[in-house]
Amino acid sequence: MKIIDTKSEIENQLQGYRKKGETIGLVPTMGALHEGHASLVKKCVAENDISIVSLFVNPTQFNNKEDLRLYPRTPEKDYELLEKLGVDYVFSPSVEEMYPEEDKRVFDFGQLEKVMEGEFRPGHFNGVAQIVSKLFAIIKPDNAYFGEKDFQQLAIVRDMVRQLFMPVNVVGMPIIRESNGLAMSSRNQRLSAEQRKNASEIYKVLKESKLLIGDYSPAELTDYVTGSINNIPDLQIEYFQIVDGDNLQQVTEWSDSDYIVGCIAVFCGDVRLIDNIRYK
């Protein structure tokens, strides 16, 4: 496994593989890797001739400077895991390497970016699109792997690829959970043992809510989930929205769509956690 920190070197390394027609897979990450990332990496290694994982904490997608400062960084541990998983290249650039000058591009994702994360984290998805488009332009992957925990991000990346006519197959992978049901996230490292126990209730409430869709309208179920989460110590809900899984717009009736997902953001202390559940 080679660790590379410059755009020019990774481009040079990959040129030969492309000429030979070998497939290139990319898993973009911000490091602090866990089993959720590992599931993406295993799929990438299995499905491509050459596998690449990027480790880069992207400043332009953080609208909270304190969140950026506190974001966990564990590069040596990450390298060790990736070596075990059989990754060919790690691309681990500096901020200066990726942003030699300010990226002033502004993307328009229409209604996709105006709800949920887009509403509560203004500018976040523009930053995601900036960095992912840069990585795709440098690495030119055939396949790129993203987790479905970041459900809205996956929709945004797919829309970005369509807008920019990038020949990248974007692969979504199921949420990986801890044994207590908590969706795996790098941010979980910041939770105390008690907070982690309380945070595991998020998924329990989501699973319970799925059993109620025959009796509750989407609006009633939203109230049920919000009230249930806010009654758990340490937890404060930021949003819970029941949306069409394709366009992310809220549904008012279960018959509005054949693909309906409940998406949630919850503060556990000062740590922000997201999760989702498919209803139909």
Number of neighbours of residue 9 by Cβ within 10 angstroms: 14
Of the candidates 7, 37, 134, 149, the residue annotated as catalytic is 37
Q: How far apart are CA 196 and CA 183, in angstroms?
A: 11
pLDDT averaged over every residue in the chain: 97
Q: Which residue spans within the chain are E strands per DSSP?
A: 2-4, 24-29, 50-55, 89-91, 143-147, 169-173, 235-244, 260-268, 271-278
pLDDT tens-digit map of 155-212: 999 999 999 999 999 999 999 999 999 999 999 999 999 999 999 999 999 999 999 9
Distance CA 132, CA 41 (A): 17
CATH code of the region 186-275: 3.30.1300.10
Structure tokens at 7: 């755009």
pLDDT, tens only, 67-82: 899 899 999 999 999 9
| Token digits of residue 182 | 């908590």
State the pLDDT confidence band at 65, using cuts at 50, 70 and 90.
confident
Name 157's Cβ contacts closer than 8 Å, sequence gap at least 6.
128, 129, 132, 144, 146, 170
Q: What is the pLDDT of residues 81-121, one digit of tens each?
A: 999 999 999 999 999 999 999 999 999 999 999 999 999 99
> Does residue 151 surpass a pLDDT of 90?
yes
Instruction: Give the residue with greater pLDDT, 127 vs 65.
Output: 127
pLDDT category at 247 given cuts 50, 70, 90 is very high
Specify the pLDDT at position 122. Answer: 92
* pLDDT at residue 69 in the model: 93
The mean pLDDT value for 252-267 works out to 98
Q: Where are the domains of the chain?
A: 2-173, 186-275
Average pLDDT, integer, range 239-246: 97
Specify the 3-state DSSP secondary structure of 96.
helix
Say yes or no: do domains 2-173 and 186-275 share a fold. Answer: no
Share of the chain above pLDDT 90, in %: 97
**What pLDDT digit, counting tens, does each position of 121-136 carry?**
999 999 999 999 999 9
CB 120 within 8 A of CB 240: no
**Residue 63 pLDDT > 90, yes or no?**
no
What per-residue confidence (pLDDT) applies to 230?
Answer: 98
124 is catalytic: no
Question: What pLDDT shows up at residue 64?
Answer: 85
Q: What would the mean pLDDT of 235-251 be, rounded to a whole number?
A: 97
Residue 47: pLDDT band (50, 70, 90) is very high
Q: Edge-to-edge, what's the strand order for the sheet holding 271-278?
A: 235-244, 260-268, 271-278
Q: What is the CATH number of domain 2-173?
A: 3.40.50.620
- pLDDT at residue 126, as a whole number: 97
Give the chain's radius of gyration (CA, Å): 19
Residue with tokens 């059993």: 211
